[in-house]
Structure 1
Amino acid sequence: MMKGSPLSGRDSKNPNQTTINVTDGTLIPLKDEGSLLSAWNISFFGAVALLVILPLFSPDPYLRILSFVPDGLVATFSVTLISIFFALLIGLFAGLGRISQKLFINRIATVYVEVIRGIPLLVQLFYIYYALGPLLRLKGPPAAILAMSICYGAYMAEIFRAGMQAIPKGQMEAALALGMSRSMAMRKIIIPQTIRIILPPIGNEFIALLKDSSLVSILAVSDLLRRGREYASTSFRYFESYTIIALIYLVMTLFFSRLVGMMEERLRHRGKVH
């Protein structure tokens, strides 16, 4: 899993140098890509059309595959949503730790981020399921959720850290001058503004997590990919099964990428208005 910096823009050390943000999320459609032949429209509606046409013209096996995988789709979304929730909680506290003035807390948060980001998600899944699973009595979905929450929590921590550091320092100083404690200022002033800044990067991470959730199929979790593998292994229709699975993933990721793009545009518009 390869990630870029959580927030892009101008380099704080060199204002004339533009930083480039590269992530493993899907391409977020731009506002000016509104033509019918835009890349997003071709990809999304092409995938949807194939999901409709293939079962109509070839019910066996495509319609059977589509009727076989819905419960796997539910499992995929369940693991993704629960994991992103806990990853946000972990990321918030780890992000606060990363900017903490207390050396001990800062070091713990920094070590967590560096260690977790240095280990591939697949290795973490195996480690928690096979090494820690028997000790913690974790099986299937709980082990997958724990691994993905810990892994993505490290990336969320960097997003929160970058977002909080993007808030002008004068706001914290003004809050302290008004008699607020540092924790109260963070809770009532800094974090609410940070949430608005980091919403688009969090959306990107959600898309990446949705795709990476396919890895949990190796942990006996009946997600979308595993259901496709089960059908393929019993029918020997590997091409057809993985074609449908790939198209479903493509539709989901492109759909959420459009939502993230709309959210970015709305936030950008609000910033101009205010």
Structure 2
Amino acid sequence: MQRTKQNHAWRVFRLLLIFFCIGLSLQFTSCGKKQAENTVFSVDDLSGKKIGVQLGTTGDTLVSDYETDGSNTTVERFNKGNDAIQALKQGKIDAVVIDAQPAQSFVAANSDLMILPEEFANEDYAIAIAKGNSSLTSSINDALNTLKANGTLDAILNNYIGENIGQTPYTSPENVNRSNGTLVMATNAYFQPYEYYENGTIVGIDVDVATAICDTLGMTLKVEDMEFDSIITAVSSGKADVGIAGMTVTPERQKNIDFSDSYTTSQQVIVVRNNDAVSGGTSLSEKFKTDFLTDNRYQFILTGLKNTLIIAACAALIGIVIGFLVAVVRSSHDKTGNLKILNAICTVYLTIIRGTPSMVQLLIIYYIIFGSMNISKLLVAILAFGINSGAYVAEIFRSGIMSIDNGQFEAARSLGLTYRQTMLSVILPQAFKNVLPALANEFIVLLKETSISGYIGLTDLTRGGDIIRSITYDAFLPLLGVAFIYLVLVVILSALVKKLERRLRSNERN
């Protein structure tokens, strides 16, 4: 028996080692390839090319016209500007259209990229506020006018942009009366220098501007990090009071949201590969240190792992409870024809949940069902995945109940047991034993499904890796590290499932 355990552990170790070596070889293979040649040197060269943009940004709106002008231009839309930049570096696209200041940060960290001298477009940045909230709009405009008049706004901008970077950091005045409540700011912290992570905290121009506004209005600032295309939805639904993320005022956005006065201007520029760049490699140890050890960035992974395990465990319990109740109703109706109304409700539930993607369900629960409620994102994720899992667990339980021979049901009834007693004492114990392995496999699937929690701004394991990628511009180790952790968790759970199955078979023989 001991030898069997050792052999199994060795097989698991070899699997993980092979996985890591494959990723490592792919990284070195890609490093050895010659960088794709740049073919975009001006705005006129964009026609017929593959253009990368961040989904929902001004750049996305501006380049959309290229898709319909008959030039065979392809627009690739990414959730983060960092992802578009990585695709550009890998030769998957020809250019990225993005805001000037983030573009400068990208180029500063990637010597193989450059910004074309020709501007693509000019734009004004403003603060997004829910429609009809005229009092907050007026208060923020008054605060912005004050900050402009006393030079605070210029000092904040100059601290991040220009020749005096880092020389005029904003600090809140002492003894500020913050009795006017909390201002919740929705942002997308992958947009340096406007908002980005530094030492585990979201900082940048927009955060300092929001802090200064709160100091002026006597409020406390709370920053919520989420996907860029979710910011307007969060503000409109009341999940956030304002959206500040280098957001441009456009007629399309004004249909759904109000804007404050402009607080700064920027330009859309084109980022391309630099044909004259000298390629240089970075050792794996240096990458590991930069990605995980510098500024304790591994904390993002640990925080995400903790949230992932909490969501998966709690959602599994909710799913078991819901699934058990639904399965009992459905199987009882199949056997006796009773509980018609409850069965109809359960059927509708199963149809909707099993027929729609879990990501859509998560967004509906967060932005619509709990749209006006200030509820924990962790709790929302637990409920969403628990409800989703319940639909699949219900069918697992139901199949287990229906697999029990009807002769046992009839024998129990002939002995004088009621239907309820028969189900509790005879049918369900056997059914539960039969479906235990399937339930364990459902938990494995649920664990991996939690990787979409980042769409509501919750830091799960996958999003923890995304944050590191946004800081270091390195996709290899953060993604491989996240995949490795998921693999370890799944291998451990799979081993437990196999052990459980062997024990059940052993009990049956005994």
TM superposition score category, shorter chain reference: 0.7 to 0.9
Q: By how many angstroms is 1:185 displaced?
A: 1.6
Kindly tell me: are residues 224 and 144 of structure 1, through their superposed partners in 2, closer, same or farther at Cα, counting changes over 3 Å?
same
Give yes or no for contact 2:300–2:467 (8 Å, CA) kept in 1.
no
Pick one of 73, 78, 81 that aligns with 2:313: 81
1:220 to 445, 457, 465: 457
CA distance, structure 1, for counterparts of residue 450 and residue 326 of structure 2:
22
Q: Aligned runs of 1:30-109 on 2, under 5 Å?
A: 41-46=13-18, 58-63=288-293, 65-101=297-333, 102-109=339-346
- Which stretch shifts more, 249-258 or 158-167? 249-258
Number of positions where the alignment pairs a residue of Structure 1 with one of Structure 2: 239
Q: Distance in 2 between matches of 1:228 and 1:129?
A: 23
User: What SS does the aligned partner of 1:180 have?
Assistant: coil
2:365 alignment partner, one of 117, 128, 132: 128
- State which of 209, 230, 233 in structure 1 corresponds to 2:446: 209
2: CA distance, partners of 1:116 / 1:236: 37
Distance in 1 of aligned mates of 2:455 and 2:489: 21
Offset at 1:242? 1.3
CA distance in 1, matches of 2:340, 2:485: 47
Q: 1:255 aligns with which of 480, 484, 492?
A: 492
Paired position in structure 2 for 1:14: none
Q: Which amino acid aligns with 2:291?
A: P
Larger mean CA deviation between 59-68 and 111-120 belongs to 59-68
Shift of 1:197: 0.4
Q: How many Å separate the matches in 2 of 1:180 and 1:36?
A: 46
CA RMSD of aligned residues (A): 2.8
TM-score normalised according to structure 2 size: 0.43
Secondary structure of the residue aligned to 1:134 is coil
1:251 alignment partner, SS class: helix
Q: Aligned pair in 2 of structure 1 residues 36, 184: CA closer, same or farther (>3 Å)?
A: closer
Shift of 1:121: 0.5
Q: Which amino acid aligns with 2:428?
A: I
Offset, 1:235? 2.3
**Letter of the structure 2 residue corresponding to residue 227 of structure 1:** G
User: 2:17, 2:326 → 1: CA distance?
Assistant: 40
Which blocks of at least 5 consecutive residues in structure 2 are unaligned? 24-283, 334-338
Asked if the contact 2:288–2:477 (Cα under 8 Å) also holds between the matched residues in 1, the reply is no
CA distance in 2, matches of 1:43, 1:85: 30
1:207-234 deviation digits (Å, cap 9, x = unpaired): 0000001111211212111211122212
2:505 aligns to what? 268
For 1:197 and 1:37, the matched residues in 2 are separated by 27
When the two structures are superposed, what TM-score results if normalisation uses the length of structure 1?
0.78
SS in 2 for 1:81: helix
User: Separation in 2 of the partners of 1:135 and 1:183?
Assistant: 42
Matches within 5 A, 1:16-31: none
Say if 1:44 and 1:255, in contact at 8 Å, map to a contact too.
no
Name whichever structure is richer in strand by fraction: 2
